[in-house]
Structure 1
Amino acid sequence: MVIHKKQILNENKRKCGIYLITKPLNKKYVRGSSVDFLKQNYNILPLAGHFFDYKHTPEKIFKLRYNYSVKFSSFKLVNYKFFKRNYSDFSKVQPVKTYENADTQKLQILNENKNKSGIYQWKNIETGKTYVGSATNLSNRFYIYYSVLSIKKILKKSKSRILSAILKYGYSQFNLEILEYCDSKIATKREQYYINLLKPEYNILQQAGSRLGSIHTIEARAKMTGRKRSEETRAQMSKTKLGLQAGEKHPMFGKLHSKETLAKMSKSKIGEKNPMFNKKHSDEIKQKIRKTKNISIEVLNIKTGEIKIYSSGKEASISLCCSPSTIVKYTKNGKLFNGIYKLRKI
């Protein structure tokens, strides 16, 4: 019975085991083992001594690659290719979790990492290249990776090797590893440890949690310098914010700050912390403030029908021999002051 190459590859996808290749005439054979038994993209690796949990050094692989030439005419296999893997620091890390197929295991990845912080690693099955990252909420971060729309938006603004690779190869060509779960406070520190150890090829920045090594283009810098929004854009932004935080949508709707919170807010603006510390308003700004605060008051004498208009509540209070707070009170409740004066704002 003749066994074809395609059949061998298809029947042994993602299987771990021991294999034996023989030549029928003199029964010569070469044996070996593999973690990923046979890959669709690779030829068979007939190499004695390649055992489970053992990885050859790069120097050993170089010698084997050029010294071994095994020929079996019945199988038509000549000059075998080796697995495309990164052997440098591959075996130094034992992941907490491994998801062999990022496509078919999508829901499992999202559900098992809800509200967990830690370090993760994307690994390209075909090229062996990796990316190391960290997140305070892994599930939320993975949602971004699984959103093609989000990826495209990010790539329009900046470069990302891992996101470009995901679009190019597809999720099925990546496996995802959780290197460790850790406290969110030390996530960046642990990410830096793995970047230094594994030297991932997809990581553009070599320092975790920063833009060190990333340089804005001249065009980007020109856009950021002296950029001003048009009045239409500002009006639209204002309208959007009002819609998002109006009425019940406002985060403080139906709530009141506690006395402790108010005291903290007041303390945060005392002395040098105040934005107006050692500053003075210009005459123009003072005039604008006066216009917004000074509301005219109309006073109607219901007995005589006489109407007087005062430029401010203070001026009205002096004329009626009362306090400014009394003027505010009677303009709000609509009652008659001293039984004869009707007050209203104009």
Structure 2
Amino acid sequence: MIYNIMIKFTKLFMSTDSKPNINPIRFYNNAEESKSIILLENKNKSGIYKWENKISGEYYIGSAIDLSKRMSEYYRESYITHPSRGKSIICYALVKYGYDNFSLSILEYCSKTKLISREQYYLDLLNPPYNILKYAYSSEGYKHTLEAIQKMSLAKKGKFTKEDNSFYGKTHTEEVKKLMSQAALKRTKPNNAKPVYLKDSDNNIIGDFKSMTELSLYLKADKATLTKYRDSNRLFRKLYYIVSKSN
């Protein structure tokens, strides 16, 4: 009797492929055909979203303060093919497969202050294959947990090895590498571009950017704000130093 109850309980909350069965607030089966309504229905709404590849079954979890604005970025080719997206699996999957082969789910709407905790909930629950980073974060002034900061710091210093590294044992496919190479070739350097280094709190170089614009896209932060932190030599988000390469 108890065994049968447990089976029924499991079937209720799990899908046939053993993934948790979540009923989204909104579901768009064809992201290409639903583009207009996606942008309209989610304007000025904050929440958690999921892109799912209908061919491979792989998916990505993300959050946004303005879902419509975030989705408009995904729909902009110049954004998803920019070199700063080089390690974004979801961006290159969208390029490779096309929007018509992706569905988009809005898992839930929530307040801005709960975005990180709710995104982390779904990351832990679903373990999405397209997410390289397994810790939720926001570029809008929210703070990482101490544990997340420590793990990111160790990763930047190369102290994560083997199973502790989320990318251990994985490589980009040749097709994805080709897409990344094509995107890099499209990049043009502005005449007034000022290259900068991104360093961690111990002054170790963790990134080399050709311009502040490229860095702002990478960090999802305002360029003017980043410039102030570069000029004042203060820690940005209490994690990074921004240093001009001419220094």
Q: TM-score, normalised by structure 2?
A: 0.52
- Cross-structure match for 1:171: 99
Q: Separation in 2 of the partners of 1:216 and 1:109?
A: 40
**Partner residue of 1:123 out of 41, 52, 71:** 52
Give the aligned length: 143
- Cross-structure match for 1:94: 23
**SS of alignment partner, residue 132 of structure 1:** strand
> By how many angstroms is 1:54 displaced?
8.6
Q: Which runs of 5+ in 1 are unaligned?
A: 1-52, 57-86, 234-346
Q: 1:174 to 1:215 in 2, by over 3 A?
A: farther
% identical equivalent positions:
41
- Cross-structure match for 2:136: 208
Question: Equivalences for 1:174-185 in 2 at 5 Å?
Answer: 174-185=102-113
> By how many angstroms is 1:157 displaced?
5.5
- Cross-structure match for 1:65: none
- Cross-structure match for 1:314: none
**Partner residue of 1:140 out of 47, 65, 69:** 69
Q: Separation in 2 of the partners of 1:171 and 1:110?
A: 14
Q: TM-score, normalised by structure 1?
A: 0.37
Q: 1:223 to 1:121 in 2, by over 3 A?
A: same
> By how many angstroms is 1:55 displaced?
4.4
2:39–2:68 Cα contact (<8 Å) kept: yes
Q: Separation in 1 of the partners of 2:52 and 2:15?
A: 17
- Cross-structure match for 2:39: 110
Q: 1:170 to 1:157 in 2, by over 3 A?
A: closer
**SS of alignment partner, residue 149 of structure 1:** helix
Q: Separation in 2 of the partners of 1:128 and 1:216?
A: 33
Higher relative contact order (CA 8 A, sep 6+): 2
> By how many angstroms is 1:223 displaced?
4.6
**SS of alignment partner, residue 115 of structure 1:** coil
Question: Equivalences for 1:303-342 in 2 at 5 Å?
Answer: none
Q: Give the greater-gyration-radius structure (CA).
A: 1
Alignment RMSD (CA, Å): 3.3
2:62–2:119 Cα contact (<8 Å) kept: yes
Q: Separation in 2 of the partners of 1:158 and 1:172?
A: 22
Q: Separation in 2 of the partners of 1:199 and 1:120?
A: 14
Question: How big is each residue's C-alpha offset from its partner over 1:78-128, in whole Å with a ceiling of 9 and x where there is no partner?
Answer: xxxxxxxxx12242x110110000000000000000000000000000000
**Partner residue of 1:194 out of 80, 105, 122:** 122
Q: Separation in 2 of the partners of 1:157 and 1:109?
A: 23
Question: How big is each residue's C-alpha offset from its partner over 1:152-206, in whole Å with a ceiling of 9 and x where there is no partner?
Answer: 12x4464101001001100000000000000010011000000000110000101
